[in-house]
């Protein structure tokens, strides 16, 4: 099915134009007069015409947002496209109407935000020896996340990595820095296909940082928004989450707040957990109360367990509650509880019954109910137990 045919069913009010060079001649160097909102270029080999035109348009006022369709979605090809100025990427073998629409929305959001896919240190991005920061891709309560190039070779051909720079306000806090270093050491010891690879880290002034692998295939939150996750696919993803949770504690990393944004896809089927920024402190000389407060501030209330909402001790079963919220969201498209504020969400997690799944998903209800039990003793008691229960 052609891309235009795919989009007619999901964007009925949009107009589409296919530029055939054989019948219409070469594509104009400047696309602004044509009034396109989005342009999609297919890129099959290095130095292709699509990337050349993309570089020429980059930064020009009124230029359309851009989506690059990559035949081989690898780190190198993604780096080349992003460096050229692509607003978003899409793998040609994995085309579907929902994924195309998501890529278009990402490209438009990138354009509206005013961010350029390519930026050098002179454009306001921090300098980090050995890395070339390309653009900011995320921001949280304790860090800013960048996409960067690393390694030898010309720009656009180096390996893509994710760089997480600790917030300058926390970089001077010795308690936080010690916690950060402990987590990095623990995560560096984890070698598991469902856990992110940590490449490098530093606690040296002025800003501690870590670098980890970049996932071209996106995160679970985007996949949920695209729709189409079957109950079997949801349980397969849950099984991989359980495997990752079973692997991480053996390296000394404790409970953390799981959320779909921190579950990345290595490819169409395999996932990896990427963020362990809410690890429970285990060093006896740390300020426990201070770190607990930081954890509560940084946690995402939608995925918090009842014991965390109440300020009670947490363990591995707390992660399984968060996994249950994620499972419910994968199955239905929405988390089980809604509220206008964090206090309302906390109340629901502690007091409200789990909403029943639609009848067609009733076979998953026992697993959801057990994961989302208010009392940790009523949940699965370990990630291994969960995996054994749902393993395919």
Mean residue pLDDT across the chain: 79
Q: Which two tokens stand for residue 372?
A: 């989302």
Instruction: Count the Cβ atoms, other than its own, within 10 Å of residue 292.
Output: 16
Say if CB 105 and CB 127 are below 8 A apart: no
Q: Above 50 in pLDDT, residue 285?
A: no
Q: Above 90 in pLDDT, residue 363?
A: yes
DSSP 90: E
Q: How many whole angstroms separate alpha carbon 298 and alpha carbon 278?
A: 7
Q: Which two tokens stand for residue 289?
A: 């109360």
Q: Which two tokens stand for residue 199?
A: 């490449």
89, 113, 137 — which closes off a domain? 113
Q: How far is CA 377 from CA 196, 206, 282, 315, 370, in A?
A: 30, 44, 23, 11, 10
Say if CB 361 and CB 376 are below 8 A apart: no
Q: How many whole angstroms separate alpha carbon 205 and alpha carbon 20?
A: 54
Q: Between these two residues, 188 and 358, which has the higher pLDDT value? A: 358
Say if CB 339 and CB 330 are below 8 A apart: no
Same domain, 286 and 308: yes
At residue 33, the pLDDT reads: 75
At residue 298, the pLDDT reads: 42
79, 113, 147 — which closes off a domain? 113
Q: Above 50 in pLDDT, residue 122?
A: no
Which among 21-25, 178-182, 250-254, 348-352 has the top mean pLDDT? 348-352
Q: Above 60 in pLDDT, residue 144?
A: yes
pLDDT, mean of residues 137-160: 75
Q: Between these two residues, 241 and 18, which has the higher pLDDT value? A: 241
Angle between helices 174-188 and 288-298 (to 10 degrees): 70
Q: Between these two residues, 127 and 77, which has the higher pLDDT value? A: 127
At residue 48, the pLDDT reads: 54
Q: Above 90 in pLDDT, residue 336?
A: yes
Same domain, 201 and 231: no
Same domain, 361 and 282: yes
CATH of the domain at 52: 3.40.50.2300
Question: Strand 143-150 relative to strand 131-139: parallel, antiparallel, unpaired?
Answer: antiparallel
Say if CB 361 and CB 331 are below 8 A apart: yes
Q: What percent of the chain has pLDDT over 70?
A: 75
Same domain, 262 and 342: yes
- Sheet with 88-91, strands from edge to edge, namely 38-43, 65-70, 88-91
CATH of the domain at 153: 3.30.200.20
Same domain, 225 and 271: yes
Number of domains present in the structure of the chain: 3
Same domain, 256 and 330: yes
Say if CB 146 and CB 125 are below 8 A apart: yes
Q: Which has the minimum average pLDDT: 165-174, 179-188, 208-217, 244-253?
A: 244-253
Q: Band of the pLDDT at 311, cuts 50, 70, 90?
A: confident
Same domain, 241 and 357: yes
Same domain, 230 and 247: yes
Q: Band of the pLDDT at 63, cuts 50, 70, 90?
A: confident
Contacts with 315 (C-beta within 8 Å, 6 or more apart), sequence order: 254, 255, 376
3-state SS class at 24: helix
pLDDT, mean of residues 153-169: 77
Instruction: Count the Cβ atoms, other than its own, within 10 Å of residue 99.
Output: 18
Q: Between these two residues, 77 and 282, which has the higher pLDDT value? A: 77
pLDDT, mean of residues 309-316: 88
At residue 204, the pLDDT reads: 87
In 3D space, the residue among 162, 174, 171, 163 whose CA is nearest the CA of residue 142 turns out to be 171
Same domain, 289 and 353: yes
Q: How many whole angstroms separate alpha carbon 45 and alpha carbon 220?
A: 29
Say if CB 119 and CB 125 are below 8 A apart: yes
At residue 274, the pLDDT reads: 87
At residue 120, the pLDDT reads: 39
At residue 279, the pLDDT reads: 33
Q: Band of the pLDDT at 199, cuts 50, 70, 90?
A: very high
Structural domain span for residue 293: 220-390
At residue 337, the pLDDT reads: 95
Q: Above 60 in pLDDT, residue 369?
A: yes
93, 113, 133 — which closes off a domain? 113
Same domain, 316 and 169: no
Peptide bond into 22 cis (omega under 30): no
At residue 182, the pLDDT reads: 84
Same domain, 336 and 245: yes
Q: How many whole angstroms separate alpha carbon 192 and alpha carbon 215?
A: 15
Q: How far is CA 90 from CA 40, 70, 72, 73, 226, in A?
A: 10, 6, 10, 8, 13
CATH of the domain at 336: 1.10.510.10
Same domain, 235 and 340: yes
């Amino acid at each position: 099915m052609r891309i235009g045919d795919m989009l007619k069913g999901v964007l009925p009010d949009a107009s589409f134009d296919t530029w055939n060079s054989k019948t219409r001649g070469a594509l104009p160097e400047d696309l602004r007069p044509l009034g396109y909102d989005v342009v999609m270029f297919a890129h099959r080999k290095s130095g292709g015409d699509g990337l050349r035109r993309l570089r020429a348009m980059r930064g020009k006022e009124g230029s359309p947002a851009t989506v690059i369709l990559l035949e081989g979605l690898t780190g190198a090809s993604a780096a080349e496209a992003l460096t050229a100025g692509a607003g978003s990427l899409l793998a040609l073998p994995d085309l579907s109407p929902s994924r195309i629409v998501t890529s278009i929305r990402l490209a438009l959001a990138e354009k509206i935000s005013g961010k350029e896919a390519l930026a050098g240190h002179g454009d306001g991005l921090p300098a980090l020896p050995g890395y070339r920061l390309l653009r900011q891709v995320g921001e949280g309560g304790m860090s800013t996340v960048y996409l960067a190039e690393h390694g030898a070779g010309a720009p656009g051909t180096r390996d893509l990595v994710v760089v997480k720079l600790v917030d300058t306000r926390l970089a001077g806090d010795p308690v936080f820095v010690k916690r950060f270093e402990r987590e990095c050491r623990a995560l560096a010891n984890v070698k598991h296909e469902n856990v992110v690879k940590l490449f490098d880290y530093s606690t040296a002034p002025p800003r501690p940082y870590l670098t980890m692998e970049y996932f071209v295939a996106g995160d679970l939150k985007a996949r949920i928004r695209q729709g189409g996750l079957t109950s079997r696919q949801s349980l397969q993803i849950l099984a991989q989450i359980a495997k990752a949770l079973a692997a991480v504690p053996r390296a000394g990393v404790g409970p953390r707040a799981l959320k779909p944004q921190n579950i990345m896809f290595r490819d169409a089927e395999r996932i990896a957990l990427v963020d362990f920024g809410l690890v429970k402190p285990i060093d006896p000389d740390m300020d426990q109360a201070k770190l607990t407060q930081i954890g509560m501030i940084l946690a995402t209330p939608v995925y918090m367990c009842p014991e965390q909402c109440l300020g009670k001790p947490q363990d591995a079963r707390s992660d399984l509650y968060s996994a249950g919220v994620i499972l419910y969201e994968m199955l239905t498209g929405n988390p089980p509880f809604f509220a206008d504020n964090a206090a309302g969400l906390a109340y629901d997690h502690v007091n409200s019954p789990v909403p029943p799944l639609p009848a067609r998903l009733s076979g998953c209800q026992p697993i959801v109910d057990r994961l989302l039990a208010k009392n940790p003793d009523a949940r699965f008691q370990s990630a291994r137990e969960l995996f054994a229960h749902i393993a395919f």
